[in-house]
Amino acid sequence: MNPVLGAFALLRAGFVLAREGVIAALPAEGLPPAGRFAHRVASVIARPSADSRARSERLSRALNRLGPSYVKLGQFLATRPDIVGQEIARELEQLQDKVPPFPHAEAVKEIESSLGRSMGDLFLEFGGVVGAASIAQVHRAVVATPDGPRTVAVKVIRPGIRARFRRDLRVFYFAAHTAERLVVGLRRLRPVAIVDTLAQSTKIEMDLRLEAAAFSEMAENTAEDPDFRVPGVDWERTGRDVLTMDWVEGIKLNNVPAVAAAGHDLPKLGITVVQSFLRHSMRDGFFHADMHPGNLFVAPDGAVVAVDLGIVGRLGPKERRFLAEILYGFIRRDYTRVAEVHFEAGYVPRRHDVASFAQAIRAIGEPIHGQSAETISMAHLLTLLFEVTELFDMQTRPELILLQKTMVVVEGVARSFDPRFNMWEAAEPVVADYIRGQLGPAAALRDAREDFSAFRRILAALPQAADGFEILVKALPDLIENGVRIDDDALTHLATEKRASIISGRIAQWVIALSLASIALTMLWR
């Protein structure tokens, strides 16, 4: 992105945050002189009415003013207290999309354009909006089937949203690259990788075919699970901008009194939500990454039904084993094993000492085991663990970001049904089953087969490797004598590009500094 345009976009974001009183609500103690000056300026800019609102309300208002991309960024940063601090993260957790629905006629236009058919061919009835968010809205409709009319939910993408996200993501990337280049301490947090994860998740959210595929995959994974399911997809009426699925008859889990009044077993529901999430994460390596109670229903038969699979998470075999062994190690108070797992996974550099790292892990685990089980938060445990790993140069793992976020959410759902919910008792059966499957005799045979297959592939590749080595040996004397040659045209092109980059960089330097100073007070406040 052009540095000048990127800097001005950040400056605009900083101005909106200041105008809504977000920056003025932050403490100024401990800031460097430039930060204190920016704080004073933000206090002057703030609306007079901002003083009467809570900071979380100011933050929500500011991000909604900036647009849906910033709302998504805020919701995403709510999962990263190591970046924004615990207090800001808690406030960002309350952030909700506050957008009106788009007109019925535009929804009809999007559906017909995406599916290439008229509404009369697709639906017997197409009703009003039952839910609207920044990316899409949902309508209730009726379709014809051989067994008679069937009620469905139709999700429609908001017009123009993709272009808006692409523009804003360029700004986020510019800010992340600039932060990594100018602030050495932020490099461990890998802000560019974090934006990569955000970009990937929003791409999936905005292609409803991918969400439909996620529903299909999760339905296959959970086909034998008696207490969890997802709605079926109507592929005939699904495209890039439209997703049609079964209508869910049930009660949303965010309506606890209604769930209780229907006679459901509340503590059991909490256990089902948590165990389902852990089972999907470790058994399948594929989990619903937005399991807030508004996306979960309890069906009349007591099963949990999940909707809105726009955000999903994946864990590879290494990450699944890492998660399981860490949780199991804390359950058994085997801190040395927890430390060893970090080193085996390559998450902590080998230059550090396993015993010293185990000592740091013990400092987290022992206070937890001194508490009553129902007060222990596994999500809090993971947060503390990631904080301690900073002392041992463990880089942020983007593939674990969504996992940590969802762990926080599902634990909160369980405790809303049962304040005395015991996370360890709920988790132990699932974790123990996974550990037995990964470390037992069957797992050893499977690993042996995989190792043998890898060895066979290496042997098969040896002839090609030998040819490549022979070519390198022949070319090596010429490389040593003459080096790598660049023709005059290429050299001229490189020089021209470098000059242009230097000029634009100089123009943008002061604007970048001002914009980063203002926005850092909020989005990178520790």
Give residue-wise pLDDT tens across range 79-93: 665 566 666 766 776
Q: Which residue has the higher pLDDT, 82 or 70?
A: 70
The pair of three-digit structure tokens given for residue 186, joined into one six-digit string: 């932020």
- Which domain-ending residue is among 408, 423, 439? 439
Spatial separation of the C-alpha atoms in residues 81 and 79, rounded to whole Å: 6
Residues 79 and 126 in one domain: no
Domain span holding position 361: 249-439
pLDDT band at 211 (very low <50, low <70, confident <90, very high): very high
pLDDT band at 507 (very low <50, low <70, confident <90, very high): very low
DSSP secondary structure of 183-201: -GGGGGG-HHHHHHHHHHH
Residues 275 and 413 in one domain: yes
Q: What digits encode the pLDDT tens for the residues 446-457?
A: 556 665 666 677
Helix axes 398-417, 191-205, angle to 10 degrees: 60
Residues 372 and 278 in one domain: yes
**Lowest mean pLDDT across 54-68, 201-215, 394-408:** 394-408
Question: What integer pLDDT is reported at residue 233 of this predicted model?
Answer: 96
- Which domain-ending residue is among 398, 414, 439? 439
Summary mean pLDDT of the chain: 79
Q: Which residue has the higher pLDDT, 39 or 329?
A: 329
Residue 489 catalytic? Answer: no
pLDDT band at 463 (very low <50, low <70, confident <90, very high): confident
Exposure class string for 487-526: b at 16+ Cβ within 10 A, else e: eeeeeeeeeeeeeeeeeeeeebeebbebbbbbbbbbbbbe
**Lowest mean pLDDT across 31-35, 295-299, 314-318:** 31-35
This prediction has a pTM of 0.70
Q: Which residue has the higher pLDDT, 62 or 143?
A: 143
Residue 76 has what DSSP assignment? Answer: H
Question: What integer pLDDT is reported at residue 221 of this predicted model?
Answer: 96
Catalytic residue among 82, 168, 241, 290: 290
pLDDT band at 476 (very low <50, low <70, confident <90, very high): low
Residues 401 and 427 in one domain: yes
Longest dimension (CA), the chain: 84
Question: What integer pLDDT is reported at residue 14 of this predicted model?
Answer: 76
307 is a domain residue: yes
Asked whether the predicted pLDDT for residue 433 surpasses 80, the reply is: yes
**Lowest mean pLDDT across 233-237, 259-263, 331-335, 493-497:** 493-497
Residues 181 and 304 in one domain: no
Q: What digits encode the pLDDT tens for the residues 262-292?
A: 999 999 999 999 999 999 998 999 999 888 8
Q: Which residue in this structure is represented by tokens 């084993």?
A: 321
Q: Is the dihedral of CA 118, 123, 127, 130 positive or negative?
A: negative
